[in-house]
Amino acid sequence: MFAIALDAGAELRPLEPWQAEEFLAHMDRARATVDPWIPWASRSTDLDSARATLQRYADLAARDAGRLYGIWLDGTLVGGTMFTSFDTNTGICEIGCWLEPAGQGRGLISRAAGHLVDWAVRVRGMHRVEWRTSPANTASSKVARRLGMRLDGVLRETFPYRGVRHDTEIWSLLAPEWLARTSIAP
């Protein structure tokens, strides 16, 4: 297994179905913070549903269509980043993230997402990296800005969740923009 150091005591590693128990404990701590933005947080409520969430991403990885990575802080899973979509035919992928309160304020998401962008662009040859978020999720929009992304626009009422239609901001970064940077860290 690989691990990428994010800062002292924090690392980015693959998050897989065999880690369902640890993932469930994390979701129990993170659910109130994460659920407004990521629907699978409310669906990962027992060991079987947590394993199913992780298995969905393992299946995406097997098809080279997505991936899931956890962020561990001092040995405890506190969040993660993922490729919610990864299309090598079009050269377009989308990155997402989540973080429980114990990991906030350290720049972990920005650094972890920076590693995903760098790998997607430099290793896999992706041309466009997208970031989609609710306009109400200002912390997520700030990460997109720190990564050097531009706001392409807002899709109005495109995301139905819990009986309400929510707007979706679409941020993007093109490969030449990323390659012009001097470091991964935002």
- Hey, where are the domains in the chain? 4-179
Query: How far apart are alpha carbons 40 and 20 in whole angstroms?
Result: 13
Name the architecture of domain 4-179.
3-Layer(aba) Sandwich (3.40)
Q: How far lies 147's CA from each of 13, 66, 131, 171, in Å?
A: 20, 20, 10, 10
Which one-letter DSSP state was computed for residue 155?
A: E
Which of the residues in the chain have pLDDT under 50? none
pTM attached to this predicted model: 0.93
Q: What is the pLDDT of residue 87?
A: 98
Q: Cα torsion for 11, 87, 117, 160, to the nearest 10°?
A: -80
> Which residue's entry shows tokens 């802080």?
73
Query: How far apart are alpha carbons 135 and 151 in whole angstroms?
Result: 11
